[in-house]
Amino acid sequence: MILEGTISAARLAACLLVVLLVLNGCSDDASGEPEDAEPPLGPVSVITRDEAIRLPLDHFSPNLRETDDIIIAEQFLARGCMDGFGLTYPTRPRRHDGYSIITHPGLFGLIDPARARHGYGPGAGRSQPSRDLPSTRPTGPNEHSPTAEPSQRSRDLPSARPSGPDGHGLGAGWEGLRPLGGAGPPTEAEEDVWLGRVPEYGGIRVPDGGCLAEGRRKLGGTSDLHWPRTELQAEAVKLAEEDPRTVEVTARWAACMRQVGYPYQTPGSVASDARWLVPGPPSPAEVLVASADVSCKARVNYAGLRLAVLTAHEMRLVNEHKERLTAHKLELSARLRNAREVLARTGADTF
């Protein structure tokens, strides 16, 4: 039997209420601004490194280590369900090799002066840069969308979190799986029972959603680990991109770039310049442009203003969705406690 932990749901709910009150300035609408007005900005920090970027909605989604803990534990439990059908599942989740302190890599493009010498990402595996901010297309509740994708090449910043067929992303996908005992991919029968594609197998009823969903239920819930954060964060990004304060700071950055001879309209257009999209180390021209890009961002505090605007829109959404976010956080907290109890009791990391 999985323990629910020593912290009661009531106590955790009370703690979450305190967090929500702090995030909202201890008021449902302290500013009293009209609903269609832009939310007021809080403190504007000077941001020159991705490590300094944190957002309010991050609180309502597990980090990479916590996600690994939950996925490994729930799939360990799911395999117990498969045993009841005389089946196995020939792949298992693989814990990530390391955990970065960077939560939003490349959210505002290249901002660290120390990385300007790499241009927009050195070395092999050079790929099409993304925009400065993540796509505003909301994903569904069974999908995972990274908070942001690096605008630099893969060696310049930590890679975005992988998504996969199990719905959580972050280590649950095929890239995060390894074969058991040299076995090949799962058979059709194994997939059917694992994902609940059939009502029964061998005369035994298959749990709703399959053994994977059964493992999640035993751990404490079946909702996507990063939903509704991904939905609300996508909405906040869209609102922040349209915010006049974002338009204004982007225009000041562009004016700075023009002064030094680089007529780009947005930081995204710099990172996606076709001249940089070739294999190999960055050219001298790319390094010069990257240095100017970083310098102009620092001059107008581009990342600091962008972060303040995005934070303001996320804060408003947190206020509007308190109950939903609190319920999700309560479930996640229970699942994480239970996952760590399973890992400690069973050594499931090495199963």
pLDDT in tens, 264-320: 999 999 999 999 988 889 999 999 999 999 999 999 999 999 999 999 999 999 999
Q: Which helix (H) or strand (E) holds 92?
A: strand 91-93
- Nearest to 177, CA basis, from 98, 92, 66, 96: 92
Q: Which of 228, 7, 272, 266 is nearest to 127 (CA)?
A: 272
pLDDT at 225 over 50: yes
Which residue did the predictor score with more confidence, 203 or 162?
203
Q: How confident is the model at residue 183 (pLDDT cuts 50, 70, 90)?
A: low
pTM, rounded to two decimals: 0.75
Q: Assess if residue 21 is contained within a domain.
A: no
The total number of structural domains that make up the chain: 1
pLDDT score for 32: 52
Q: What is the pLDDT of residue 180?
A: 54
Q: In this structure, are residues 107 and 157 in contact, taking their beta carbons and an 8 Å threshold? A: no
For residue 87, the enclosing domain spans 50-345
Mean pLDDT, residues 321-333? 96
Is 118 among the domain residues?
yes
Say which DSSP state 20 is in: H
Averaged pLDDT for residues 172-179: 45
As a whole number, the mean pLDDT across the chain is 79
Q: Do 140 and 56 touch, CB atoms closer than 8 A?
A: no
Residue 131 lies in a domain: yes
Count CB atoms within 10 A of the CB of residue 244: 9
Residue 94, Cβ density class (10 Å: 0-12 exposed, 13-18 middle, ≥19 buried): middle
SS3 48: coil
Is 295 part of any domain?
yes
In a domain, 205, yes or no: yes
- Looking at the domain assignment, is residue 35 inside a domain? no
pLDDT (tens digit per residue) in 208-224: 999 999 999 999 998 99
Dump the DSSP string for 137-199: -PPPTT----S---SS-TTTSPPPPP--TTSS-TT-SGGGEEESTT--SPPHHHHHHHHT-SS
Asked if the structure places residue 22 within a domain, the reply is: no
Q: What is residue 326's predicted lDDT score, i.e. its pLDDT? A: 96
Q: Is residue 39 part of a domain?
A: no
- Name the pLDDT band for 35 (thresholds 50, 70, 90): low
